[in-house]
Every structure is written in C-alpha cells, then in structure tokens.
C-alpha cells in the first residue's frame, strides 16, 4: 500500500456544485497534514493545513479522520478558478525524507 | 512570511552541459530546504533535502548533486545533463517541527 494515496481523477464538476475528495495515508504515526493546490505549469501553493477538529477557510473545508486514516477536502459553490490539481501532504516526524510525503494529486475541472 | 527565490524561470540546455540552479530563502532562519523535480503530468519527486549548512540527504541516485553553502542558499548542480533531466525543478523551504512547505516559482528545464 502506498504511503499516501489520492484518486487522480479527473473530477469534472459543474460550476456552483460541491465537490469533495479524500487522501488516505498508511502510517498511523503521521502527525500533520496539508492540502496544496497546483495550477498547470506552476508551483504548488499551500491551500490549508488540516487540524484534528477540522477547519474551514471560506468555501473550503478540511477534515481529518484518524481512525480511518484519511483527510478530506470539500469545496462548496465551486468556481471555474478552482480548476487545478489538489495535492495532499502527510508529515510523519522521524520518517524518511524529513517525514514529508506527497500524494500524486487529484485533478479537478470545474465546467461552466 | 518566508519568500523563496529561484532562478532562472526557464532554461534550455544541451545534453552533456553543466547545470547550476540556485535557490535563496528570505524571512526565516535555519530552514529545511528541498529540491523537487516534476516531470510533465507527473507527481513531485524529492531529489535532495537539507537540514543545515553542508548537510545534504539524497533521495534518488542520479547525476545531480546539491550543496548548501549558506543557511538560506541551496544549489542544485549537474556536471553533464541527460535528456531525462528535463522537468520542472522546485525549491522548497519549511521551518522546524510541523510547519508546511513553501515553494519557489520553479525552473522549467529542457535538455535538448
């Protein structure tokens, strides 16, 4: 099982809809989690950290389920500008590569 | 907040030529520094990371090398480029503990 897994998509979603996708991780010692957004031919940019109690930033909600070992990202009232690849990052202190592992990303396409 | 400077933005080099990409970081001290590569349509591949001056960990055997001559300077080098070295090279920085990664704008390298 891969350490961090994401459905690559693409998710084709009409504008205004709500979309959610998950990221599963295999190591229960993982301690911190992040969602990044990457536009085509650009660098990844931090979208939000994921806190144990869940957190919201405008139209974006991130949640952590430690029991089932996954994090989720929900986007409400999706905009055309939300089209991007969404990467999850899992941090496991003491793990290899400084403990950071990236998922391969979920490609989201918002359609007008 | 920290700023990561990476240059050049694009680079076209012939096979067998040397490479030097430089990354500098502002707004933080003693960061962990990283070099990633992303091939077209693929995920991020960690190449090197550094937890301090002169300390380099290599994640993938290859014809690339990295150096950290100063606290906030990270250099990626090659003596002889291969066609397979083409890709999008990203420098990243993070503070200590569970802080997230921040990326530079990247260098798009094409080896011809």
Which residues in chain B are closer than 8 Å to A98, comparing Cβ atoms?
32, 34, 49, 51, 57
Chain B: residue whose CA lies nearest to A42: B105
pLDDT at B1: 77
Question: What token pair was written down for A15?
Answer: 């504008």
What is the pLDDT confidence band of residue A95, given thresholds at 50, 70 and 90? low
pLDDT digits (tens, 9 = 90+) for A25-55: 998 888 899 999 999 999 999 999 999 999 9
- Element (H or E) spanning B17, and its range? none
Give the span between the Cα atoms of A12 and A10, in whole angstroms: 6
Contact B49 A104 (CB under 8 A): no
With a cut of 80, say whether residue A2 has pLDDT above it: no
Q: Residues of chain B whose C-beta is under 8 A from some C-beta in A?
A: 32, 34, 42-44, 46, 49, 51, 57, 59, 88, 90, 94, 98, 100-106, 108
What is the pLDDT confidence band of residue B11, given thresholds at 50, 70 and 90? very high
Q: Which residues contact A58 (CB under 8 A, 6 or more apart)?
A: none
Our CA dihedral for B18, B76, B87, A82, rounded to 10 degrees, sits at -150
């Amino acid at each position: 099982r891969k350490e961090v897994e994401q459905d690559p998509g693409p998710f084709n979603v009409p504008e205004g809809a709500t979309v959610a996708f998950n990221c599963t991780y295999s190591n229960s010692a993982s301690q911190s989690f992040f969602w990044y957004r990457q536009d085509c031919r650009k660098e990844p940019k931090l979208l939000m950290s994921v806190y144990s109690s869940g957190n919201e930033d405008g139209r974006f909600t991130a949640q952590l389920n430690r029991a089932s070992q996954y994090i989720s990202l929900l986007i409400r009232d999706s905009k055309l500008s939300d089209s991007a690849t969404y990467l999850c990052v899992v941090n496991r202190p003491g793990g290899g590569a400084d403990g950071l592992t990236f998922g391969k990303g979920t490609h989201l396409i918002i359609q007008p | 907040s920290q700023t990561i400077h990476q240059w050049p933005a694009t680079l076209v080099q012939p096979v067998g030529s040397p490479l030097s990409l430089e990354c500098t970081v502002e707004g933080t001290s003693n960061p962990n520094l990283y070099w990633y590569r992303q091939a077209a349509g693929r995920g991020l591949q960690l190449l090197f990371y550094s937890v301090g001056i002169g300390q380099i960990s290599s994640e993938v055997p290859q014809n690339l090398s990295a150096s950290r001559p100063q606290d906030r300077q990270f250099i990626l080098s090659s003596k002889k480029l291969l066609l397979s070295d083409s890709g999008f090279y990203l420098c990243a920085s993070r503070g200590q503990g569970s802080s997230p990664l921040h990326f530079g704008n990247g260098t798009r390298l094409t080896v011809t």
